[in-house]
Amino acid sequence: MLAKRIIPCLDIKDGQTVKGTNFVNLRSAGDPVELGAEYSRLGADELVFLDITASFEKRKTFVELVKRIAQNISIPFTVGGGIHELKDVDTLLSAGADKVSVNSAVLKTPILIDEIAKNFGNQVCTVAIDAKFENGEWTCYLNGGRVPTERKLFEWAKEAQERGAGEILFTSMNHDGVKQGFANEALCTLSESLNIPVIASGGAGTMQHFEDVFKLGKADAALAASIFHFHEIGIPELKQFLRERGVVVR
C-alpha cells in the first residue's frame, strides 16, 4: 500500500539552514546537506528546502546547494522560494532537484503551472498555497502570507490541478506555528475534491496531530519544520506511533 509521507522542511538563507536545530553529532549544524542526510537516515520520506534568501546575488549559493543535496541524498527533494519563471525551474532541476514548489509566482501568473507541467511533467510541479480562514472562507495569500489575494483556497487548488500541478502543499496560516494540530476539516475537503496528492502543512505539535491529519484530514503527506528540528518529535518514534495506529508508513 502507498505509504503516508512524513516531510521535514528546511528554511535556507544564504546556503545555510536558518532555524536552529538540536541535532547533535553533526559537524556543522547549519549545513542543510548534513541535516538533510540525517533526516534521510532517520526515515524522512522526502525533504523540502525553501530558499528565503532575499538578494538576487546570493541565489547562486542556493543553486550550488541544490547540487550538493542531489549528490548526497538518496530520497526525493523539493525546492522552493524565489521561482518566478520557467528558467528558474530549469536551473533548479538541472542542478538535481526532483520537484519545485511554486507559490506567489503562480498566483500572479497561473499559466506558469501549465508551462512547468508541459516542459518538465506534472510530477515536478508542487503548487504551494498559503491560506487563512477569515470571514467564513479560506483566502489565499502572497509573499509568504503577507499579501491577501482575491483567490479562495478550494477554487484555486482545483484550477492548479487542472493546469497541471502534480501536488498541492496547503499551509493553513491560522494553524501554522500554533502547534494545535492541522487544519483537518479544510484538508479533508481539499483532498476529497482533488485527484492529486495533498501535503498538509501548519500546526503539527504532537504525534496525535499526525494521526489526525492522515485519518481526519485525508492528507497524503504531512510537512513540519520546528518539531523535527528541535527534536520534539523524532521521525522513527513518529512512524512507530502511526504504524501502531494503523496508518501505513514506510
Q: Which stretch binds another protein (CB under 8 A): 53-61, 89-97, 127-135, 152-160?
A: 89-97
Q: Give least dist CB 20 to another protein, A.
A: 27
Establish if 93 lies at the interface with another protein (CB under 8 A): yes
Cβ-based nearer residue to another protein, 39 or 156: 39
Cβ-based nearer residue to another protein, 75 or 216: 75
Q: Which stretch binds another protein (CB under 8 A): 57-65, 170-178, 194-202, 207-215?
A: 194-202
Phi, psi angle pair for 175, to nearest 5°: -100, -25
Cell numbers found for residue 162: 487542472
Cβ-based nearer residue to another protein, 95 or 233: 95
Amino acid at 152: K
Instruction: List CB contacts of 150: < 8 A, sequence separation 6 or more.
Output: none
Query: Is the C-alpha dihedral spanning 185, 193, 84, 45 positive or negative?
Result: positive
Report the residue from 3, 18, 86, 142 that binds another protein according to the rule CB under 8 A: 3
Cell numbers found for residue 7: 516531510
Cβ-based nearer residue to another protein, 116 or 221: 221
Question: Considering only residues 45-64, where is the footprint of another protein by CB under 8 A?
Answer: 45
Q: Roughly what angle, to the nearest 10 degrees, separates helices 207-215 and 184-193?
A: 30
Active site residue 114: no
Report the residue from 196, 200, 227, 242 that binds another protein according to the rule CB under 8 A: 196
Instruction: Give the Cβ contact number of residue 5 at 10 Å.
Output: 19
Cβ-based nearer residue to another protein, 29 or 75: 75
Rounded Cα–Cα distance for residues 165 and 107 (Å): 13
Q: Which stretch binds another protein (CB under 8 A): 73-81, 151-159, 174-182, 238-246?
A: 73-81
Name the residue among 70, 80, 95 with its Cα closest to residue 127. Answer: 80
Name the residue among 113, 155, 125 with its Cα closest to residue 137. Answer: 155
Instruction: List CB contacts of 56: < 8 A, sequence separation 6 or more.
Output: none
Establish if 192 lies at the interface with another protein (CB under 8 A): yes
| Contact set with another protein (CB under 8 A) | 1-3, 5, 40, 45, 70-72, 74-76, 93-94, 96-98, 120-123, 166-167, 191-192, 194-197, 218, 220-221, 250
